[in-house]
Amino acid sequence: MESSRLQSQHSDPDRILINTPPNSRTTQGSREGQAAGDRIVRYNQLLLKADTAYLSGDYSTAISAYQEALRLSPDNQLVYQKLGEAYFSAGEDEEALATFKTYLKKSTSTSARIHYVSGVLLERQGNIDAALDEYNAAMAIDPIHSGARRRRADIYIIRGEFKKAINEYQILHEASPNSPILLYKLSRAYVKDKQFDKALEVYRQAINLDDGNIEIQREYALLLRQRGHYHEAENAYSAILEKQPDDEVALNGIIFVYVKQKQYEGLTSFLEKQQGRDANNPDHPYRLGLIYEYRRMFQEALDAYKRSLDLKSSAKAYRALGRVLLKAGKKAEAKAALESARKIDPKAPEVRSLLMQLKAENRVQNLKKHKKKISKSRKKKGKTRKSTTKTREKPKKTVKMQSKKQ
């Protein structure tokens, strides 16, 4: 009975292996057998406690329980694997990696999962080459391990091996054709490899699968813009703005497209519509003011900047207002606006330069006034001297005339 019970313990991988001397019939042997049985019970209790804690996310308790279980069974491969997973989930990368290395040394079988997780840990540490070796080892055991293949492709991108990355992403896409993320990564790889037409095609496929992914749509619109497909880029940015009317990237992108094509009237109309959609957004009249200013419609620009400031005080709107007032020759108002901008943002370089410009212009104007004043004063003094001279000379002439008569 005793031998059959011990054999059953040997056959269970989750139970500790106990070596009991044969023909042990003494009282001491019975006590040792009882102690061994207690250790088995304690081991199983610890394993249950650790597994329960791990599944509930209590990784600290799980780690402590697995460590205690290992003290009872130091060569148990299963516990090493579970302890490594607990360290990994808790974010204790160094301990996880060391535990997995110990597991691989003690293990008589191979595990794609352990190689994969070891690769992730090494990649976190920045050891890309060692991580790639682990991913290769994982795929040697399990050729369809998608996680290892995807991370291997990511490393190829980092290393500049774009064609290898493209090949890996294509294999992954064939296995999961409805994954927009894989298409997204594939399109990026095509961009890196300068295969722009293929990249645009794959971007479209990704957007069709997930039209709510704004990041993919932004990159697609940017690539269209960079390749000179302005009409398509405008449509792509407009599609983003329909979902997110205040998307800064899309707004700036579509403005760039209008300006690049010199469609200033169209841009003005677009910005006016944006202002109408959201009258409480101070950025809309501010942008409208910029295009009015560019088109030299200064009064409209002033009105737009003032509307923006009515909604929210900002350094950029005060700066723009001061700039236009300066162009209009309203220097006192320009100075007040620029001083307000400087109070909000003391380090704004353009505000400092505009104030210096205004100061220089005032100096020139004051100098001109001073010169004019001096010139008038000199002229006045000149007239006074002439008048005095004439008055003094008249009596002399009279005297001469009198002397002649005599």
pLDDT, mean of residues 100-110: 80
What whole-number distance in Å separates Cα of residue 2 and Cα of residue 95?
40
pLDDT, mean of residues 57-75: 92
Q: What's the mean pLDDT when you consider all of the chain?
A: 84
CA dihedral 346, 349, 353, 355 (to 10 degrees): -20
Question: What pLDDT score does 205 carry?
Answer: 96
Q: Domain coordinates of the chain in residue numbers?
A: 278-362
Question: What pLDDT score does 362 carry?
Answer: 66
Question: What pLDDT score does 394 carry?
Answer: 53
Question: What pLDDT score does 129 carry?
Answer: 95
DSSP of 65-88: HHHHHHHHSTT-HHHHHHHHHHHH
CA proximity to 319, closest of 303, 300, 301, 339: 339
Question: What pLDDT score does 388 carry?
Answer: 57
pLDDT score of 356 more than 50: yes
% of the chain residues with pLDDT over 90: 57
pLDDT, mean of residues 44-73: 92
Map tokens 């391990």 to a residue: 145
The model's pTM is 0.67
% of the chain residues with pLDDT over 70: 80
What are the tens digits of pLDDT across the range 257-273?
A: 999 999 999 999 999 98
pLDDT score of 26 more than 60: no
pLDDT, mean of residues 87-107: 88
pLDDT score of 233 more than 60: yes
Q: Residue 299's CB: how many other CB atoms inside 10 A?
A: 10
Contact 33, 61 (CB under 8 A): no
What whole-number distance in Å separates Cα of residue 225 and Cα of residue 231?
9
Higher pLDDT, 216 or 103: 216
Window from 38-52, 81-95, 343-357 with minimum mean pLDDT: 343-357
Map tokens 């003391």 to a residue: 346
Confidence of residue 21 (pLDDT cuts 50, 70, 90): very low
Contact 204, 235 (CB under 8 A): no
Window from 12-26, 154-168, 213-227, 258-272 with minimum mean pLDDT: 12-26
Angstrom CA distances, 16 to 101, 110, 167, 278, 405, stand at: 22, 22, 47, 70, 158
What whole-number distance in Å separates Cα of residue 203 and Cα of residue 219?
8
What whole-number distance in Å separates Cα of residue 339 and Cα of residue 319?
9
Window from 162-171, 297-306, 343-352, 359-368 with minimum mean pLDDT: 359-368
pLDDT, mean of residues 214-218: 95
Window from 7-21, 149-163, 361-375 with minimum mean pLDDT: 7-21
DSSP of 224-247: HHHTT-HHHHHHHHHHHHHH-TT-
Question: What pLDDT score does 393 carry?
Answer: 54
pLDDT score of 360 more than 50: yes
Question: What pLDDT score does 257 carry?
Answer: 95
Confidence of residue 353 (pLDDT cuts 50, 70, 90): confident
pLDDT score of 12 more than 50: no
Using CB atoms within 10 Å of the CB of residue 304, give its burial: 0 to 12 exposed, 13 to 18 middle, 19+ buried: buried
What whole-number distance in Å separates Cα of residue 5 and Cα of residue 17?
11
pLDDT score of 293 more than 80: yes
Which CATH architecture fits 278-362?
Alpha Horseshoe (1.25)
What whole-number distance in Å separates Cα of residue 90 and Cα of residue 87?
5
pLDDT, mean of residues 139-168: 96
Question: What pLDDT score does 379 carry?
Answer: 67
Confidence of residue 32 (pLDDT cuts 50, 70, 90): low
Question: What pLDDT score does 106 carry?
Answer: 78
> What secondary structure letter does DSSP report for 24?
-
Higher pLDDT, 190 or 47: 190
pLDDT score of 34 more than 50: yes
What whole-number distance in Å separates Cα of residue 217 and Cα of residue 268?
24
What sign for the dihedral angle of Cα 188, 192, 196, 197? negative
pLDDT, mean of residues 269-288: 90
